[in-house]
Amino acid sequence: FQNYALFPHMTVNKNIGFGLKMRGVPKAEIDKRVAEAAALVRLQGQTEKLPGQLSGGQQQRVAIARAIVVEPPLVLMDEPLSNLDAKLRLEMRAEIRRIHNTLGATTIYVTHDQEEALSLADRIVVLRDGQVRQVGTPEDLFLRPDHLDVAEFMGFRNKVRGKVVSTAEGRAAVAVGTAQISGRARAAVSAGAGGYLAIRPEDLHPVAAGQPGLEAQVVSTEFRGREFVGFARMADGTDLSFLAHDKLSPGETVTLAADPDRVLVYGGAA
C-alpha cells in the first residue's frame, strides 16, 4: 500500500501549492508556479478536482508536482510505482524520466525492481544490508556485476554451486557434478576453490542429451507467447529457470546450457 499524503479536502491546485503557501510565497507567484508544475506533469484540466476524483496515476502526478514546485535541489522517490498496475507503471516510468530530464534536479530513486533501475538511472547504487555493493552505469552493472548478490539483482537468477577447476585470461571453468561449465571470471575466483555460476534465465536453454550442460528435472513450464519459461530442479536441489521453444513435461530430464560469454563465475565467498 502506498499513500501519497494528498489532502483529501483540497483541490489539485491547493495540494500542489501547499508547500509554497507554507513558505509565504505571494499568491500570484504560487498561481504561476502551480500552473507550471501542473503542466509539467500533464494535469491541466484536472486542477479543480479533489484527489478522490483522480486515478492512481493522476494522484501520483499531483504528489510529484507538489514535491517539485518548491524547486528542491534534490528529489527522493521511494518506490513510487509499487502500487500501480503494469500499464500505468510503464506510463509513469516514462513520465518520471521526462520530468527529471526537464527539471535537471538530482533525483534519488529507490526501487527493488531491476527494470526500473535500468530504464531510469544514469547511475545505479546497489545496497545490501546498508552496505554499498557496487556503483556504476546501468550498462556496467547489467553486464559486469562485481559481486554475486549484485548479479542476482541484475537478473542472474540462476545460481549454481560448483568447484573451480581452472582459470585463465579472465575465464574460469567450474565443475558441477559430472559437467564442466565455462564462464567469465568475476570476483574472488581461484582454481581448486568453491565457486558459483550465475546465469540469466533467458540465456539458459535445453540442449541435446550428451552435450555439456546442467542436468535437471523439469518441474513446470509456463507459456509466455513467444516461448516457454521452464522451471527445473537439479539433483542437489538447486532450482533453475530457463527458456524453451517447446513445452516440456514435468519430470522430464533436460540438459541446460548457456553461451560461456553469458555465464559469470564468482568465488565461493562472493
- Does residue 6 lie in a domain region? no
Domain interval for residue 19: 12-120
Same domain membership, residue 174 and residue 103:
no
User: What is the domain-level CATH number for residue 86?
Assistant: 3.40.50.300
Tell me the pLDDT tens digit for each residue of 219-270: 999 998 889 999 999 999 999 999 999 999 999 999 999 999 999 999 975 4
User: What is the domain-level CATH number for residue 194?
Assistant: 2.40.50.140
Tell me the pLDDT tens digit for each residue of 190-209: 999 999 999 999 999 999 98
Position with higher pLDDT, 159 vs 99: 159
- Does residue 143 lie in a domain region? no
154 contacts 114 by C-beta, under 8 angstroms: yes
Same domain membership, residue 243 and residue 174:
yes
Same domain membership, residue 207 and residue 115:
no
Could you tell me the end-to-end alpha-carbon distance of the chain, in angstroms, rounded to an integer? 34
Q: How far apart are CA 211 and CA 167, in angstroms?
A: 22
Mean pLDDT of 133-148: 96
66 contacts 21 by C-beta, under 8 angstroms: no
- Does residue 132 lie in a domain region? no
Tell me the pLDDT tens digit for each residue of 28-39: 999 999 999 999
Give the domain-ending residue among 99, 120, 141.
120
Q: In the prediction, which pLDDT does 82 show?
A: 77
- Does residue 140 lie in a domain region? no
* DSSP-derived pairing of the beta strands 124-128 and 131-136: antiparallel
Place of cell 499568491: 27
pTM value surpassing 0.85: no
Same domain membership, residue 92 and residue 193:
no
In 104-168, alpha helices (H)? 114-120, 138-143, 148-153
The 10 Å Cβ neighbour count of residue 113 is 15
207 contacts 255 by C-beta, under 8 angstroms: yes
Measuring CA to CA, how many Å separate 110 from each of 56, 114, 230, 236? 19, 11, 31, 36
Q: Write the burial class of residue 260 (CB in 10 Å: 0-12 exposed, 13-18 middle, 19+ buried).
A: middle
The amino acid at residue 269 is A
Same domain membership, residue 79 and residue 176:
no
Give the domain-ending residue among 67, 94, 120.
120
Q: Cell numbers of 103, please?
A: 527539471
| 193: CB partners within 8 A, 6+ apart | 163, 164, 267, 268
One DSSP character per residue, 64-89 reads: HHHHHTT--SEEEEESTTTTS-HHHH
Q: How far apart are CA 261 and CA 183, in angstroms?
A: 6
Tell me the pLDDT tens digit for each residue of 38-79: 998 889 999 999 999 998 888 988 998 999 999 998 999 988
Same domain membership, residue 17 and residue 110:
yes
C-alpha torsion angle, residues 43, 46, 49, 53 (rounded to 10)? -80
Give the domain-ending residue among 58, 93, 120.
120
Number of domains observed in the structure of the chain: 2
